[in-house]
Structure 1
Amino acid sequence: MSARATAAPRTILHVDMDAFFASVEILDNPELRGRPVIVGGAGPRGVVAAASYEARAFGVHSAMPGALARRKCPQAIFLDGRHHRYREVSAAVMAIFAEVTPLVEPLSLDEAFLDVTGRRRSLGDGPAIAAMIRRRVLDDVGLTCSIGVAPNKFLAKLATETAKPRATPRGPVFSDGVAVVDPAHIQEFLDPLPVGAIWGVGPKTREKLERLGIRTVRQLAAMPVSGLRQGLGVAAGEHLAALSRGHDDRPVVPDVAAKSVSHEVTFATDLIERPALDREIVRLADAVAARLRASATQGRTVQLKVRFGTFETLTRSHSVSTALDDGLAIAKAARTMLDQIDENTIGVVPTLGVTYTGIYEPVADLAAALDDLQERTGLDVDIHVDGASGGFTAPFCAPDLQWDFRLPRVKSISASGHK
C-alpha cells in the first residue's frame, strides 16, 4: 500500500484576503464603504491593482487597463496605491496566522497557506480553526478573508474560490467565508469543475485537452496517464493526472526567502532619448540596491526589462563574478545591457525593470500566470527563455524543473556558451 494511501490526511488552509488593497482603503476611509473603489488604474497607462466588490459588479477586475475600468464603471473612485500601508496590514494579518501555526507560507501580501494538522487536538478541526482565524482577522484588523480547508494545497486553493464573496449589482454577497473539501469526497468536489480550474491548464493546454475530448476534471481523471503523457508530454501529463485525482504532496514551506529583488515602473509619457533612459536606470538600480542592503542580501545576476510602445518586451541578463548590492554597479551592468539593444529600436519605452537574482527563475509559474492573463484578457504572450548558466545546469541538477519546451508557451531558449 502506498504512503499516500496510509498517511493520515493533513489539514491545509488557504487564506485569501477579500479585495485586499481596496478593502484597506475602505478600512482607512469608511466614507468609501458601499462605493465602487479601484486601486491603481489612473493615467493613460494605468492598470487596476484591486477593485472592491461594488466595482467588480460592473466587470472591473485586477490587471484590467484603467481606461477600460473607467468606461465600465465611470462612477468609480480611483485611488493611488499605498503599498507601505498594505505591508503594515499584511504584517498584522500574518502575525495572526503565526499565532495559530508556525507553518505559514505567504504567497503574497494577502494570501498564505497554513498547515494546521498539528493544531487540531488543541484548536479543533480544520473548519473550526478557519472560522477562528476569520473572526480574529475581522476583530483585530477589521478585514474579511476567505478560507479553503482541504488535505493539500491544491484543493485548499480551489476551495477558497468557492468561499469568496459574490459581486452583485446590489452589493457583495458574503457566505460564512469557509469552504471545506472533505478527504472522503475529493473526487466528487473535483469532477464537475472545468479542466481549466486545474493549475497549469491555460488556454493552450486546454486546447490540447479538448482535442482529446477532455473538458471537465472528471474526463481528465478518467484518461489513462499514458494517453496524457503522449498528448501533453511526460511531465505535464503526469502532473495533470495527479491533480485531477486530488493528489498534491507539496508541503507548506514557511519563511520562503525572496528569490529576487526587482523594481520597475510604467511611465506616464514615453521615454525616447537615451539620457532619460540612463537616469531611470540609475534610479531603479538604487531602489533595488537599497532593498538588497535592507534584507542583507547580495546577488550575481542583473536583469533588464525594456517594454516598447508596441508592448513588445525585451529582457537581457548579465552575471558578475562577485556578489554585489551597490546601485552604481547594478546600473553599470544594466546600461551595458541597454547598449546591446539596437538604438534604432529604442523609440518608445514605457517600462524599464531591473531584477537582481541568482537562482532558477519560476518559468512554469510565469507560464501559468500568462495562461491566466490570456484567459482574462485574450492576450497570448510567448515565453523566450534566456537560459544563461541555468540552461546548462538545470537539466542535470534539477531534471524535474519545467522551464523549457515542455511548457507550450516557451518558444525559444537562448544560452551563452561561455557560461
Structure 2
Amino acid sequence: MLLDGQRTIAHFDLDCFFVSVECLKDNSLKGKPLLVGGKSDRAVVAACSYEARTFGIHSAMPMKMALRLCPHAIIRGGDFDEYTHFSREVTDIIAGSAPLYEKSSIDEFYLDLTGMDKYFGSLKWTSELRQQIMKKTQLPISLGLASNKMVSKVATNEAKPNGQLSIPFGQEKGFLAPMSVEKIPMVGKETAAQLRRRGVETVRTLSEIPVGLLEAWLGKNGISLWNKANGIDESPVVPYHEQKSISTENTFPTDTIDLGFIHSELVRMTEKIGFELRSQNRLTGCVTVKIRYSDFETVTKQLSIPYTSSDHVLLEKVKELFHRLYDRRLLIRLIGVRFSHLVSGNYQISLFDDTEDMISLYQAIDSIKSQFGWQYLMRGSSSAGKHEQQLQPYQKETMIMHKRYPKY
C-alpha cells in the first residue's frame, strides 16, 4: 500500500565507469591495478580500479604519487569518445523504459518510480532494467532503491561493486545510523573533521543532535545534515532533457567579413559560456555554431563531442564548425555559439592528458572570473588587432599564460 508522501526512487551508478570501459576494450586489464589519466609526472589520476584503491590511490591524486604507492599499476590515457558513447547508450536504455529519470552525471541516474508498485513492483522492475543495461553494454552497474534520492545513493554505494540494495520505506534512519558521517553525500573532509572534533563519528550520533545546535556549528549546512542523518530528502528527480543548453550570440553594429575580428568574437563568446558551464558544474556533449549573413539567411551546424567543459577543447570545435559553416563569403551580421546535451560533472575528468598545472590554471582563472566577472580575464586572441603594448594588464597576463600553457 502506498502511503501519503511515500516515494520510490532508484539510483543507478556505473561502477568505476572509465576503468570498466577500458577493461571492456582490453579484457586482460580485469583484476589489475589500473589507473586512467595522463602519463607525465605532473598528470593526475582521473579514475582508478578497486584493485588500485587498495593501495590508497584515489581520483585526482597526482599520478606520480599514485605510482609511488603502486609501482606496478597499469596506466591508460583515457578515451573520452568511448566513455561518452557508453554514457549515451545507457541513457538511451533508461529513457526507453523509465517514466521519469534524471541524468545527474555522465555515469549516474535517478529514476522516480513512485506508484509503480501498484502495477509491476519497483524492485523487480529496476532489477530487470539493471540486467538489461549490463547485457547490452557489458558494463557493471550498481543499484540502490529507497524512498528518496539521498538514501538511494547511499544504498548504491553500499551495494558496490556491481550489486543492488533496497531500503524499505520507514527503515531509512536505521539503515544510515551505524555508518560513519563521511557516508552522507556532500560531507567532505573538512565537515567530517569538524564533526569528529566534537565527538560526532556516526550518523546515529549526528541524527540525535538538536538541529539548532547543528545550525550553530555549521550554518545552513547543519540543517541539511540533520535532515540527511534522519533519512529525510525531499529533492525531486529533475526530468532530463538533452535540449537544455547554454548559449550566446552577438549581432554586430556593422556587417563584417573581418575574419580576425570574428575569430576574436568566437573566442570571447566561447570563454563566456565555457565559464558559465563550469560554474554550474556541467559538461556539454554538443556544440553548435550559428551564422546570420547580411541578407538575413541564417545557418547553423552542430557537432556531438565527448563530454567536456574545457575551453581549449571547446574552442577547437567552435573554430572547426565555423570554418565548415562559413562558405558563402558574404558579410556576416550575427554569430552565435551554443552548448547543449548538458550533464552534471566536473571538468577535471576530461583533462586526461593535462597536468596539475593545467588544472590549477583553470581553477585560478575561474576564481578570478568569479570574483571580478568573466570578462576580466580573457585570452590575448580575443583582443585581435590590438598591439600588445595597448593590452590591459589582465590581457597581457593571459598572453603570458598562453605562452606557458600553449594548449590553453
| TM-score band w.r.t. shorter chain | 0.5 to 0.7
Separation in structure 2 between the aligned mates of residue 284 and residue 96 of structure 1, nearest angstrom: 28
> Is 1:215 the equivalent of 2:201?
yes
Q: Structure 1 residues 319 and 205, CA, compared in 2 at 3 Å: closer, same or farther?
A: closer
Separation in structure 1 between the aligned mates of residue 120 and residue 182 of structure 2, nearest angstrom: 35
Deviation at 1:211, TM superposition (A): 4.4
| Preserved contact between residue 34 and residue 54 of structure 1 (Cα < 8 Å) | yes
SS at match of 1:340: helix
> Is 1:314 the equivalent of 2:381?
no
> Is 1:63 the equivalent of 2:46?
no
> Is 1:331 the equivalent of 2:382?
yes
Deviation at 1:157, TM superposition (A): 0.7
Code of the residue aligned with 2:33 in structure 1: it is P
Q: Which residue of 2 aligns with 1:240?
A: 225
Q: Structure 1 residues 31 and 290, CA, compared in 2 at 3 Å: closer, same or farther?
A: same
Q: Structure 1 residues 212 and 283, CA, compared in 2 at 3 Å: closer, same or farther?
A: closer
SS at match of 2:138: coil
Q: Which residue of 1 aligns with 2:269?
A: none
For residues 273-326 of structure 1, what are the alpha-carbon distances to aligned partners after superposition, in whole Å with 9 as ceiling and x for unaligned?
Answer: xxxxxxx987764446779846469xxxxxxxx986995852333457xxxxxx
For residues 9-408 of structure 1, the aligned pairs below 5 Å read 9-125=6-122, 127-165=123-161, 177-233=163-219, 235-255=220-240, 257=244, 261=274, 285-287=315-317, 293=337, 295=339, 314-315=364-365, 316-317=368-369, 318=373, 331-332=382-383, 339-340=393-394, 343=397
For residues 30-82 of structure 1, what are the alpha-carbon distances to aligned partners after superposition, in whole Å with 9 as ceiling and x for unaligned?
Answer: 23333333211311121111222333333333222111222233333211111
Deviation at 1:205, TM superposition (A): 2.5
| Preserved contact between residue 41 and residue 67 of structure 1 (Cα < 8 Å) | no
Q: Structure 1 residues 347 and 287, CA, compared in 2 at 3 Å: closer, same or farther?
A: closer
Code of the residue aligned with 1:24 in structure 2: it is V
Deviation at 1:13, TM superposition (A): 1.0
Paired-residue identity, %: 34
Code of the residue aligned with 1:89 in structure 2: it is F
| Preserved contact between residue 228 and residue 237 of structure 1 (Cα < 8 Å) | yes
| Preserved contact between residue 284 and residue 353 of structure 1 (Cα < 8 Å) | no
The structure with higher relative contact order (CA 8 Å, sep 6+) is 2
Q: Which residue of 1 aligns with 2:259?
A: none
Code of the residue aligned with 1:57 in structure 2: it is T
Q: Structure 1 residues 35 and 241, CA, compared in 2 at 3 Å: closer, same or farther?
A: closer
Q: Structure 1 residues 290 and 245, CA, compared in 2 at 3 Å: closer, same or farther?
A: farther
TM-score w.r.t. the length of structure 2 is 0.64
Q: Which stretch of structure 1 is more off in the superposition, 206-215 or 287-296?
A: 287-296
Instruction: State the number of aligned residues.
Output: 308
SS at match of 2:364: strand
Structure 1 gap segments, 5+ residues each: 166-173, 265-279, 298-305, 321-326, 355-419
Structure 2 gap segments, 5+ residues each: 247-272, 279-309, 322-335, 342-354
For residues 186-207 of structure 1, what are the alpha-carbon distances to aligned partners after superposition, in whole Å with 9 as ceiling and x for unaligned?
Answer: 1111111122222343233234
Separation in structure 1 between the aligned mates of residue 214 and residue 3 of structure 2, nearest angstrom: 27
| Preserved contact between residue 134 and residue 144 of structure 1 (Cα < 8 Å) | no
Code of the residue aligned with 1:339 in structure 2: it is P
Code of the residue aligned with 1:213 in structure 2: it is G
Code of the residue aligned with 1:67 in structure 2: it is K
Q: Structure 1 residues 309 and 116, CA, compared in 2 at 3 Å: closer, same or farther?
A: closer
Separation in structure 2 between the aligned mates of residue 75 and residue 40 of structure 1, nearest angstrom: 15
Larger radius of gyration: 2
For residues 168-194 of structure 1, what are the alpha-carbon distances to aligned partners after superposition, in whole Å with 9 as ceiling and x for unaligned?
Answer: xxxxxx6xx101222221111111112
Separation in structure 2 between the aligned mates of residue 76 and residue 24 of structure 1, nearest angstrom: 17
Q: Structure 1 residues 308 and 196, CA, compared in 2 at 3 Å: closer, same or farther?
A: same
| Preserved contact between residue 173 and residue 230 of structure 2 (Cα < 8 Å) | yes
Code of the residue aligned with 2:238 in structure 1: it is V
For residues 98-154 of structure 1, what are the alpha-carbon distances to aligned partners after superposition, in whole Å with 9 as ceiling and x for unaligned?
Answer: 1221422112221111112243344322x2223212211111111110111111111
| Preserved contact between residue 281 and residue 331 of structure 1 (Cα < 8 Å) | no
Separation in structure 1 between the aligned mates of residue 221 and residue 54 of structure 2, nearest angstrom: 36
Separation in structure 1 between the aligned mates of residue 81 and residue 29 of structure 2, nearest angstrom: 20
Separation in structure 1 between the aligned mates of residue 397 and residue 121 of structure 2, nearest angstrom: 64
- Aligned-residue CA RMSD in angstroms? 4.0
Q: Structure 1 residues 238 and 19, CA, compared in 2 at 3 Å: closer, same or farther?
A: same
